[in-house]
Structure 1
Amino acid sequence: MRTWLMRPGAAFGAALLLLQVIAIVFAGLLAPYSPTTADPLHTLMPPSASHLLGTDVYGMDILSRIIYATRINLLVSITAVAGAFAIGVPLGLIIGFYSGIPSAIVMRLFDFIQSFPVFVLGMALVSVLGQEIWNVALVLAILFVPVFARLVRAEVLSLRQRPFISAARCSGATDRSIMFRHILPNAMTPALVQLSISVGMAILLTAGLSFIGAGVRMPTPEWGLMVSSGAQQLILGVWWVSLFPGIAIVLAVLCFALLGDELRILLDPRRRHR
């Protein structure tokens, strides 16, 4: 693990993740102002000593909102992906191990979910459930369940025909024992790698839904919502309102993309020395 963390990609990704964890845990200490208190006397102020990243159209401090938005964006994304992982992995194991009509129905349901454009389906679900933070997490979890289930199912279809599975059957192992003791541990690598990548994708989707008005609502500090509110002032030369939250999104997604790629190398010995 120490050698893995010395790799440039892993080290940079871990450093970015550490910064985000610090922002989540110590947001109240790091933020110089309240993230939701408007100040009409200091609207659209450029970066200065009093407001390091400037203020938005409501006079709210952008740095404070970015710090608090880290908590919302990451917790929503991680919760959604963790829920999708917890549902998708066992589901993929079952439909991969047992073929038949029920498995075919589940796969067609996945096809139905994934046939919709992500933002269209996300907007539809949020409009039904309501624009609340945890409803956004629920929507993201629904979108990611097919991803994990398909990955695990593909691995199970390959593993269940292997000689060691036949040997386990001959020794009297039950289907449950074969599934959870022999197949699942060997089918987890793609799902674990996808776990990190999906968090980055969930951050983008959370920000994207808020940007188009289908995510959280003002004055909740959220990166996509901040970019959206600042986009209207770009034509006036007010660049800081959108730029800094956009950079925060880029760094957060880059963090999990790097960690996902490095995790793939860590879990695949054939690629460690490439």
Structure 2
Amino acid sequence: MPSDAPIRSSFLRPALVIGLFLLALQLIAIIFAPWIAPFSPIEANPIDSLQTPNAIHWLGTDELGMDIFSRIVFATRVNLLIGFAAVAISLAIGVPIGVLVGYYRGFTGALVMRFFDFIQSFPVFVLGMALVAVLGQEIWSVVIVLCMLFVPMFSRIVRAEVLSLRERPFIAAARCSGAGDFAIMFRHILPNAMTPVIVQISVSIGMAILLTAGLSFIGAGVRLPAPEWGLMVSSGAQQMILGVWWVALFPGLAIVFSVLSFALLSDEAKRLLDTSRPGVRR
């Protein structure tokens, strides 16, 4: 029986501790935002426009007089909602497609993969602007854009695993025991194909947060006055040359720490899964 000492030691790794700490801060901001934020995140107050960080407005105010700290706290809800929703929907769609096209090889599977190639050939920001023009500048428009990027990615990951697993001896044994295709795909193959998917989930959430900020930065994402990190960076970027650095800096740091937390957790999840899962489960 393998020792669980490597698994226990993985929980003491600095990268995991930092990742969990940053994630915990985001979850606290999501749950307790109304109590943490001292001001409304959407109410403008022109009298307080462009105040530097001070005792009242801890991170200063933007050109509309909105408190930056309050907007960053509430923006955590928006950015993580988009990230989690996009990844969850992409998982629900992409994983079954990946299993099916990997198990049933042939013309249909090749056609699906070529369709994914066609979708992924569009630059994400061009696709975002096109969908915003059709669907409107709403949160769910951003989610749809991200799903169109992530569904092919999850499908390809699962398909690659299924192509390898379907030829293993334990699959032949399952067929000999009378198991049908559905049972083989979703009871025997899929559980063994989920390790890279689990790792990719954390990476994709961080990527979704970064892409959401990028779409909002170019005007194809969330619209004012909704609090969103990329939108805040966009509104402050034009003023940095005038010395108004705080409007864009602090939301930019929020993006950095959020993406960093999921990148660290993804790396540690891969280490943990590789340690605790030395072989394929039958």
TM-score interval, normalised by the smaller of the two chains? over 0.9
The alpha carbon displacement at 1:205 in A equals 0.5
Q: Distance in 2 between matches of 1:183 and 1:39?
A: 58
Query: Would you say 1:108 and 2:114 are equivalent positions?
Result: yes
The alpha carbon displacement at 1:134 in A equals 1.7
Q: 1:175 aligns with which of 152, 177, 181?
A: 181
Higher mean C-alpha deviation, range 125-134 or range 173-182: 125-134
Contact kept? 1:265, 1:271, Cα under 8 Å:
no
Deviations, residues 127-153 of structure 1 (Å, cap 9, x unaligned): 221111122112211210000000000
Aligned to 2:12: 6
Q: Which amino acid aligns with 2:251?
A: P
Aligned to 1:150: 156
SS in 1 for 2:272: helix
Aligned to 2:3: none
Q: Distance in 1 between matches of 2:11 and 2:125?
A: 35
Q: Which amino acid aligns with 2:101?
A: I
Contact kept? 2:146, 2:208, Cα under 8 Å:
yes
Q: Which amino acid aligns with 2:109?
A: S
Q: Distance in 2 between matches of 1:271 and 1:241?
A: 46
Query: Would you say 1:250 and 2:240 are equivalent positions?
Result: no
Contact kept? 1:126, 1:139, Cα under 8 Å:
no
Aligned to 1:73: 79
Aligned to 2:195: 189
Aligned to 2:233: 227
Q: Distance in 2 between matches of 1:134 and 1:26?
A: 24
Q: Which amino acid aligns with 2:14?
A: P
Query: Would you say 1:35 and 2:35 are equivalent positions?
Result: no
Q: 1:264 aligns with which of 251, 270, 276?
A: 270
The alpha carbon displacement at 1:271 in A equals 10
5+ long unaligned stretches in structure 1: none
Aligned to 2:205: 199
Q: Which amino acid aligns with 2:18?
A: F
Correspondence list, 1:88-103, <5 A: 88-103=94-109
Aligned to 1:54: 60
Contact kept? 1:33, 1:61, Cα under 8 Å:
yes
The alpha carbon displacement at 1:126 in A equals 2.2
Q: Distance in 2 between matches of 1:44 and 1:216?
A: 22
The alpha carbon displacement at 1:3 in A equals 4.0
Q: Distance in 1 between matches of 2:276 and 2:56?
A: 52
SS in 2 for 1:48: coil
Q: 2:214 aligns with which of 208, 211, 220?
A: 208
SS in 1 for 2:227: coil
Q: Which amino acid aligns with 2:215?
A: L
Aligned to 1:140: 146
The alpha carbon displacement at 1:178 in A equals 0.6
Aligned to 1:217: 223
Runs of 4+ in 1 over 4 A off after TM superposition: none
TM-score after normalising by structure 2: 0.94
Q: Distance in 2 between matches of 1:5 and 1:35?
A: 37
Q: Distance in 2 between matches of 1:19 and 1:173?
A: 47
5+ long unaligned stretches in structure 2: 1-6
Q: Distance in 2 between matches of 1:127 and 1:2?
A: 51
Contact kept? 1:227, 1:245, Cα under 8 Å:
yes
Q: Which amino acid aligns with 2:262?
A: F
SS in 2 for 1:26: helix
Deviations, residues 198-251 of structure 1 (Å, cap 9, x unaligned): 000000010000000000110000000000000111111000000000000000
Q: Distance in 1 between matches of 2:276 and 2:179?
A: 31
TM-score after normalising by structure 1: 0.97
Contact kept? 2:124, 2:145, Cα under 8 Å:
no
